[in-house]
């Protein structure tokens, strides 16, 4: 029974890795759909995230079964409870990628982004996807050092987000209010995505070290 438990626990951890990968892919494709005004790709992302939702729910149920199956020892318990939080963050990352795809779909066949902010979004997308990959590595290797790098990337996204809002509100913006609304919300989605990736890293650090309870970045 103990062996069966460990198999399940490994499978639970494996599914977290898969969810992380899927959330990264979803944001990569959503960003491509946004930049290339690609309706087919946007719709694919929206479908894909439906699968992420289902897998996240399944993963949550597995955590429950693990807790019910046999009283886990403290370190296993920490891993399962930490995993429950991580599933929530990864599911939300998928949801934010879906938001990006939805904006691209809503404006199609018009491009959402004015030329002058395309590079910023390409870069925010690149960093966000890299953060999901880092979070996946941290999850797989339980490597707290790499988790610190997530904080650096998050700051970069925050700065880009702040600069974008200043630019939109400034005198050079001549794309009207609808476009400003789209860009404001899109920038917010990337910023939140990065926040959740940081949270995943924090949770893993907490699992490994038991130190630094995960301060929530409720921004």
Q: Is 184 in the site for its own copies (CB under 8 A)?
A: yes
Interface residue with its own copies among 11, 178, 209, 212 (CB under 8 A) is 178
Nearer to its own copies, 95 or 136 (CB): 95
Q: What is the DSSP string of the chain?
A: -HHHHHHHHHHHHHHHHHHHHHHHHHHHHHHHHHHHT-HHHHHHHHHHHHHHHHHHHHHHHHHHHHHHHS---HHHHHHHHHHHHHHHHHHHHHHHHHHHHHHHHHHTTS-SS-HHHHHHHHHHHHHHHHHHHHHHHHHHH--HHHHHHHHHHHHHHHHHHHHHHHHHHSTT--SHHHHHHHHHHHHHHHHHHHHHHHHHHHHHHHHHH--S-------
Q: Is 95 in the site for its own copies (CB under 8 A)?
A: yes
Nearer to its own copies, 74 or 145 (CB): 74
Interface residue with its own copies among 1, 40, 71, 211 (CB under 8 A) is 71
Nearer to its own copies, 95 or 125 (CB): 95
Residue 92 CB, shortest distance to its own copies, in Å, is: 7
Nearer to its own copies, 11 or 70 (CB): 70
Binding site for its own copies (CB under 8 A): 49, 53, 56-57, 61, 63-64, 67-68, 70-71, 74, 77-78, 81, 84-85, 88, 91-92, 94-95, 98-99, 165, 168-169, 173, 176-178, 180-181, 184-185, 188, 213, 216, 218-219
């Amino acid at each position: 029974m103990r062996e069966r438990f460990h198999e399940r626990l490994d499978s639970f951890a494996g599914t977290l890795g898969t969810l992380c990968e899927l959330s990264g892919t979803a944001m990569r494709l959503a960003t491509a759909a946004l930049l290339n005004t690609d309706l087919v790709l946007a719709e694919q992302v929206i479908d894909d995230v439906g699968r992420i939702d289902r897998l996240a729910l399944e993963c949550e149920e597995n955590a429950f079964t693990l807790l019910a199956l046999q009283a886990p020892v403290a370190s296993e318990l920490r891993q399962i409870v930490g995993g429950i939080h991580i599933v929530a963050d990864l599911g939300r990352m998928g949801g934010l990628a879906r938001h990006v795809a939805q904006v691209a779909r809503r404006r199609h066949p018009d491009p959402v982004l004015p030329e002058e902010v395309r590079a910023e979004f390409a870069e925010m997308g690149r960093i966000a996807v890299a953060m999901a990959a880092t979070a996946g590595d941290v999850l797989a290797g339980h490597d707290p050092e790499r988790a610190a790098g997530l904080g650096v990337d998050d700051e970069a996204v925050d700065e880009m987000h702040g600069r974008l809002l200043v630019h939109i509100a400034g005198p050079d913006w001549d794309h009207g209010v609808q476009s400003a609304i789209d860009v404001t919300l899109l920038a917010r989605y990337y910023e939140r995505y990065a926040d959740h990736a940081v949270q995943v890293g924090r949770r893993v650090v907490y699992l490994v070290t038991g130190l630094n309870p995960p301060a929530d970045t409720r921004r």
